[in-house]
Structure 1
Amino acid sequence: MSDAAAPHLPTFVARPGYDRHAQRAGIVHLGIGAFHRAHQAVYTDSAMAAGDRDWAITGVSLRSRQVHDQLTPQNGLYTVTERRADGDTTRLIGAVTSVVVAPDEPGRVAAALTAPETRIVTLTVTEKGYAPNEREGAAAGAVPTTIYDYLGAAVIARHDAGLSPLTLISCDNLSNNGGVLHERLCARLDAISPQHCRWFEQAWACPSTMVDRIVPATTAADLAAVETALGQRDDGAVITEPFSQWVIEDRFAGDRPRWEVAGAQFVADVKPFETAKLRMLNGAHSALAYLGLARGHTFVHQAIADPQIEPIVSRLMREEAAPSIAATQDQQLDRYADLLLTRFRNRALPHRLLQIAADGSQKIAARWLSTLADNRAAGRQSPAILHAIAAWVAFVRGDQHQVDDPNAGVFAEAWAYAGSNGVVNKLFAVQKLFDGKITLTENERAHVHQFLSNFS
């Protein structure tokens, strides 16, 4: 794959609809992994194909050389293949024009962040990348290691050079991600220069976003299949699902690409969309995991095809989670549930239930118990969630599958101490696994215990 080889791709491969060499870089992306290449880069590619100009992406790898070594010999080109039950579709993406390895060339990263044509910085650095900066107040000129070092230096340099402020867009699965980024970068700047901190707070923007697309790690078998289909090697190829969602708080320091041409939504408040994803998508995923594993399934598409599971999951989304969400006029929760069920049924991109089942004690409070508590307060019943909780209680016994959870020892002790007759009370009335904030009523525990007999 390269500029020279791209014209020889098969005709079924969709090409960028613009002259990529005529585009200047207007975006710097920190953390250029597979998710960014299948998500934000695709939206940007579509915006430039629709006529937007000078929004090419400079990708920054904060640790590994892998993406640099994949894309640089290919002139930044790579393909995105959507796996569909009725046949794959493949698209050539031209939005990424260069990749910089930050530890090797921190000066190039600084130059990209302070270039006059740069207007937006996007980030996919995982939740760990937003950890509070341990080097607050570090001396100017120190070697940058965190996003706060790079961005803090960019704020200072752009201010002192009289350049325009930037919009910083977090694209990670972190609640209130823009607010978190803003708060922690402010702390970093305030420790160095309160003057620059004030300019950042007044002029820069950190909108929150919600992102959603399944992008598995590309395997050797995937690369071989892409090479067979294309007739040329693409070391940067990514495989994904047809579904993609990007909801962005409409708050920018300057101009932006028309990402809406590819389906992005610009809204006043991202929170209702975060809640819908957490309670409907993630809540249904967890239910599919524990109910599916109990019935011998391996993948999501197998579990949702089970006639004993699908009605429970559908009810959980439509009748229990959806009524608990303060939806905006931009949301259509019943249609969202339809889209989620279609995603779950996609057998072309298998999603392992055991992967979803990991760390359940860290997830179910937000995915199930918050919904349960809201419904209880509104006088609504939540039998589907109680059924799913019973499946989780059965799963953490550990007699069918290894329990990958930081509280695995607590579960084993609870089962050994209480047995099936008392484990529900032990986990939800005695043990304070969920910080005592959300628990189950006596009547709800009785229903969970009743459902638990289905999994013995």
Structure 2
Amino acid sequence: MTALNRTTVSSPTPPVRLVHLGLGAFHRAHQVWYTQQAEADPEHPEWGYASFAGRSAGISLELAAQDGLYTLVTRSGDGDSPELMTSLVESHPAENTARFIELLADANVAVVTLTVTEAGYHLTEDLELNTQAPDIVADLATLRVGSSDGPLLSAAGRLVAGLRARRAADAGGLAVMSCDNLSDNGTTTRASVLGFARALDPELAEWITAHVTFPSTSIDRITPATTEEFVAEVARATGREDAVPVVTEPFASWVIEGSFPAGRPAWERAGAQFVADIAPFERRKLWLLNGAHSLMAYLGQLRGHTTVAEAIADREIRHHVELLWDDAAEHLTAPGLDITAYRRALLDRFANPRIRHNLAQIGIDGGTKQRMRAVPILKTQRANNLLGHGAAYSIAAWIAFLLRGEDIADTRAAELLAARRADDPVRALLAALDHDLAADPHVLSLIRTFVTELTR
């Protein structure tokens, strides 16, 4: 068995021109893959990633021991296709603030990408920085005394510290691009970064406004969690010791709106789309793909399933997925979306027998995810004097799942636990998603009916 490093595989090392925050499997199956596929000359690559864990060491140490190399396995019904990924050059734990800041101050670094989840932006519902959040309070205190030697806890704190160093180095602008599953994620990122910068140094905020762009993206590629069994399979198939391989599906999508003042890889070579208006594509993905995932995560587990493939094979669950999609499709009418083909492709992807996409993993942070998935569909329906049973059923499945009384795997766990203990837990949990829906008697009555059915 061969050790995996750049010496044993004679891998070319591209210069670091990209930085990522939120190192995980999806980043390695998506942004790193697109970057490697976009190289005009693979023997002389021009774009390398330095990627940082979000809040801890994570897998960064294992990747560092492999010089950033890992195996990406594309898994379909026809078999596995392993590919050695070489565009990740550096991997660092979250606490390596010094290296993060050093890289952002480097004029050769052109783009920062993020996968930190919605909670990682520390914004209120009005897209204002939550300056009372403990991580924000701590980072502002650290940076106000001029220190950046110790760990910074928030994405905004780290980015602003890096951008402050970039301004001091006169390194010019760059793009900061979210790859999280959020509508208008560029606006979200901009609000978080500028909110932190204004609280720290208004002149720095002005510099960021003038020199930094925040492109919006819609991203898509199912990436199940890596298991010990999969690690062993990769070793047998490749003859290499890879501690952190990644498995993914054949399908990949990346839609981008925005500008890149310091340049970017030619991601379009790998199939990325650059569009003038990303909003319709975002809604299509969030409402259809991600919306179906959330519905299956809770309804599937309630019905005893563990994976997406098992859930979509259940006729009852597929029926409710189709109803959810019917609700959403009424409001996805922009040219170029081709909803019928998109739905058909999703069913094929969900049914892929060789992608083990665990429902429990998908169901984490439902208190945040459902706000972006089922809630907008249902609110759009109500704004048009309709009552979407599909979206309401998805919310009811989430509530019924929480009412089972198990530990809540959610960054909002304390708030949701209090709601579950309320005198009227259905109303309280619905209000935790959206106060307007909880105040709508028709919506509340329908969701009560569904929750009763699901908890019998």
TM-score scaled by structure 2? Answer: 0.81
Provide the rounded CA distance (Å) in 1 between the counterparts of 2:306 and 2:98.
47
Provide the rounded CA distance (Å) in 1 between the counterparts of 2:362 and 2:107.
43
Give 2:145's aligned residue: 139
Does residue 93 in structure 1 map to residue 85 in structure 2?
yes
Give 1:185's aligned residue: 193
Provide the rounded CA distance (Å) in 1 between the counterparts of 2:207 and 2:198.
11
Provide the rounded CA distance (Å) in 1 between the counterparts of 2:264 and 2:312.
39
Query: How many aligned positions are there?
Result: 430
Give 1:278's aligned residue: 286
Provide the rounded CA distance (Å) in 1 between the counterparts of 2:395 and 2:54.
39
Give 2:46's aligned residue: 54
Give 1:197's aligned residue: 205
Q: Residues 194 and 371 of structure 1: is their aligned pair in 2 closer, same or farther, counting only changes over 3 Å? A: closer
CA contact (8 A) 1:85 1:348 kept: yes
For 1:40, the aligned partner's letter is Q
Residue by residue over 1:300-348, the C-alpha shift from the partner in whole angstroms, topping out at 9 and shown as x without a partner, is 212211233323322321x2112123x5434332222122212211221
Given candidates 294, 304, 329, the residue that maps to 1:322 is 329
Provide the rounded CA distance (Å) in 1 between the counterparts of 2:450 and 2:64.
59
Give 2:243's aligned residue: 235
Deviation at 1:445, TM superposition (A): 3.2
Moved more, 372-381 or 271-280: 372-381
For 1:324, the aligned partner's letter is H
Given candidates 173, 178, 182, the residue that maps to 1:165 is 173
Residue by residue over 1:420-448, the C-alpha shift from the partner in whole angstroms, topping out at 9 and shown as x without a partner, is xxxxxx83599845443114554983697
Give 2:106's aligned residue: 115
Give 1:437's aligned residue: 436
Give 1:249's aligned residue: 257
Give 1:69's aligned residue: 61
3-state DSSP of counterpart to 2:204? helix
Given candidates 371, 374, 380, the residue that maps to 1:374 is 380
Provide the rounded CA distance (Å) in 1 between the counterparts of 2:443 and 2:172.
59
3-state DSSP of counterpart to 1:336? helix
Residue by residue over 1:247-281, the C-alpha shift from the partner in whole angstroms, topping out at 9 and shown as x without a partner, is 22222223211112222222233333332233222
CA contact (8 A) 2:72 2:85 kept: yes
Residue by residue over 1:26-63, the C-alpha shift from the partner in whole angstroms, topping out at 9 and shown as x without a partner, is 11222322221111000000111467952111223455
Which structure 1 residue ranges, 5 or more long, are not aligned?
Answer: 8-18, 418-425
CA contact (8 A) 1:112 1:118 kept: yes
Give 1:258's aligned residue: 266
Q: Which entry has the higher C-alpha Rg, 1 or 2?
A: 1
CA contact (8 A) 2:98 2:149 kept: no
Give 2:133's aligned residue: none
Give 2:350's aligned residue: 344
Give 1:208's aligned residue: 216
CA contact (8 A) 1:313 1:384 kept: yes
3-state DSSP of counterpart to 2:435? coil
Q: Residues 300 and 432 of structure 1: is their aligned pair in 2 closer, same or farther, counting only changes over 3 Å? A: same
Provide the rounded CA distance (Å) in 2 between the counterparts of 1:200 and 1:447.
45
3-state DSSP of counterpart to 2:79? coil
Q: Residues 143 and 128 of structure 1: is their aligned pair in 2 closer, same or farther, counting only changes over 3 Å? A: farther
CA contact (8 A) 2:306 2:358 kept: yes
Which structure 2 residue ranges, 5 or more long, are not aligned?
Answer: 123-128, 130-135
Give 2:449's aligned residue: 449
Moved more, 271-280 or 148-157: 148-157
Does residue 38 in structure 1 map to residue 29 in structure 2?
yes
CA contact (8 A) 1:370 1:438 kept: no
Deviation at 1:410, TM superposition (A): 5.0
Deviation at 1:395, TM superposition (A): 4.6
> Cα RMSD over matched residues?
3.5
Deviation at 1:449, TM superposition (A): 3.1
CA contact (8 A) 2:431 2:437 kept: no
Deviation at 1:99, TM superposition (A): 2.7
Provide the rounded CA distance (Å) in 1 between the counterparts of 2:396 and 2:200.
52
CA contact (8 A) 2:5 2:69 kept: yes
